[in-house]
Amino acid sequence: MSNNTARFSLTEDWTVVVFGFLIIVLALVGIKIPSPVFAWENSAELAEKVLNTTNLINVGKLFLWVYVIAILATKALGKEVNATIKGFPIVFILTILALVLAGNSFLKNWNLEAVIFSLSIGLVISNFSNVPDWLKESLSTELFVKIGLVLLGTSIIFGDILKAGSLGLIQALLVVVSVWYFAFWIAKKLGIDEEMAIMISSAVSICGVSAAIATAGAIKGDSKKLSYVISIVLITAIPMIIFMPIIAKALGLSEAVTGAWLGGTIDTTGAVIASGSLIGEEALKISTIVKFSQNVLLGLAAFGISIYWTYTNNQSEVAKESKPTLGIIWERFPKFVIGFVAASLLFSFFISGDVISEVKGGLKSLQGLWFALAFTSIGLETKFADLFSSEGKKPLYAFLIAQGFNVLITLVIACFLFN
Banded pLDDT at 225 (limits 50, 70, 90): confident
The Cα 295–Cα 211 span in angstroms is 8
**For the ranges 72-86, 183-197, 228-242, 346-360, which has the lowest average pLDDT?**
228-242
Closest among 294, 376, 345 to 124, alpha carbons compared: 376
Predicted structure pTM score: 0.74
The predicted pLDDT at position 159 comes to: 67
pLDDT for 318 equals 42
Report how far Cα 223 is from the mean position of its chain's Cα atoms. 13
Residue 131: what pLDDT? 86
What percent of the chain lies above the pLDDT cut of 90? 30
Q: Which amino acid is at 142?
A: E
pLDDT of the residue at 101: 93
Span 139-164, mean pLDDT?
Answer: 78
Give the pLDDT confidence score for residue 5 in this predicted structure: 40
Name the residue among 113, 61, 65, 67 with its Cα closest to residue 90.
Answer: 67
Q: 96 or 393, which is more confident?
A: 96
Instruction: Name 231's Cβ contacts closer than 8 Å, sequence gap at least 6.
Output: 116, 119, 387
For the chain, the 3-state helix, strand and coil shares in percent, each to the nearest 5, are 80, 0, 20
Residues facing residue 40 across a β-bridge: 104
At 104, give phi and psi (nearest 5°): -65, 130
Q: What is the mean pLDDT of residues 58-69?
A: 94
How far is Cα 204 from Cα 229, in angstroms, rounded to an integer? 10
Task: Report the Cα 338 to chain-centroid distance in Å.
Answer: 16
Residue 111 pLDDT class (50, 70, 90 cuts): low
With bands split at pLDDT 50, 70 and 90, how would you rate the model's confidence at 307? Answer: confident
Whether the per-residue pLDDT at 50 is higher than 50: the answer is: yes
Per-residue pLDDT band for 3 (boundaries 50, 70, 90) equals very low
**411 pLDDT more than 90:** yes
Average pLDDT of the chain is 83
The pLDDT value given to residue 312: 73
pLDDT over 70 percentage in the chain: 86
Residue 9 scores a pLDDT above 70: no
What whole-number distance in Å separates Cα of residue 247 and Cα of residue 386? 37
Q: Does the pLDDT of residue 6 top 80, yes or no?
A: no
**Bridge partners, 104 (sequence order):** 40
Highest mean pLDDT among 82-86, 221-225, 298-302: 82-86
* More confident position, 269 or 117: 117
CA distances from 251 to 6, 238, 247, 275, 415 (A): 64, 21, 6, 16, 12
Listed residue (314, 246, 137) closest to 261, CA to CA: 246
What is the sign, positive or negative, of the torsion defined by CA atoms of 255, 157, 149, 115?
positive
Residue spans of the domains in the chain: they are 12-418
Asked whether residue 260 carries a pLDDT value surpassing 80, the answer given is yes
Query: What is the pLDDT, as a whole number, of residue 406?
Result: 94
> Which residue did the predictor score with more confidence, 129 or 71?
71
How many Cβ atoms sit within 10 Å of the Cβ of residue 342? Answer: 17
- Confirm if 98 and 117 have CB atoms less than 8 A apart: yes
Which of residues 228 and 11 earns the better pLDDT score? 228
DSSP 8-state assignment for residue 154: G
Lowest mean pLDDT among 159-163, 395-399, 401-405: 159-163
Given a cut of 50, whether residue 1 has pLDDT beyond it is no
The arithmetic mean of pLDDT across residues 142-167, rounded, is 76
Q: Is the pLDDT of residue 188 over 80?
A: yes
What pLDDT, on a 0 to 100 scale, did the predictor assign at position 321?
46
| Rounded average pLDDT over 377-391 | 71
Highest mean pLDDT among 184-188, 265-269, 363-367 belongs to: 184-188
Mean pLDDT, range 8-13, rounded to an integer: 67
Q: Is 290 or 346 the better-scoring residue by pLDDT?
A: 346
Angle at CA of residue 201, ends 329 and 194, nearest 5°: 55
